[in-house]
């Protein structure tokens, strides 16, 4: 009876450790995503402000169209890079959050196979 209680205590401790590891990975991943979003927002605002100043100083319609076209191209490229980076961060978040549970699943599969 005492051995079963000790086994149960060990199992409970192991499960709490897994949850803590998973939470730590989730916390780090969410922080990285938040930082990336904040950085992108700041850069986008700065780029938009710079373009607005250039447009205000444009002497001709052709120059204004050129400035706007350059901005559109740059903004698109920046967004594609941002979306790619964000996708990688979300993928890493999912992998790191699940990683602690992989050993638990492996143990359960091994126990079921006995």
| Average pLDDT of the residues in 35-54 | 96
pLDDT in tens, 72-113: 999 999 999 999 999 999 999 999 888 888 877 777 777 777
What integer pLDDT is reported at residue 84 of this predicted model? 97
Tokens in use for 65?
């169209």
Query: What span, in angstroms and rounded, lies between the C-alpha atoms of 89 and 1?
Result: 47
Q: Is 60 helix (H, G, I), strand (E, B) or coil?
A: coil
Annotated domain spans of the chain: 32-97
26-41 CB burial, b ≥16 within 10 A, e <16:
eeebeebbeeeeeebe
Q: Is 58 helix (H, G, I), strand (E, B) or coil?
A: coil
Q: How far apart are the first and last CA of the chain?
A: 22
């Amino acid at each position: 009876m005492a051995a079963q209680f000790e086994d149960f205590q060990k199992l409970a401790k192991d499960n709490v450790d897994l949850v803590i590891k998973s939470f730590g990975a989730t916390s780090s991943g969410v922080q990285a995503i938040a930082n990336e979003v904040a950085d992108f927002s700041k850069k986008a605002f700065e780029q938009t402000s710079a373009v607005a100043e250039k447009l205000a100083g444009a002497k001709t319609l052709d120059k204004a169209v050129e400035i706007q076209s350059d901005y559109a191209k740059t903004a698109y490229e920046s967004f594609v890079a941002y979306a790619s980076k964000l996708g990688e961060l979300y993928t890493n978040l999912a992998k790191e959050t699940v990683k602690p549970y992989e050993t638990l699943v492996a143990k359960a599969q091994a126990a079921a196979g006995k």
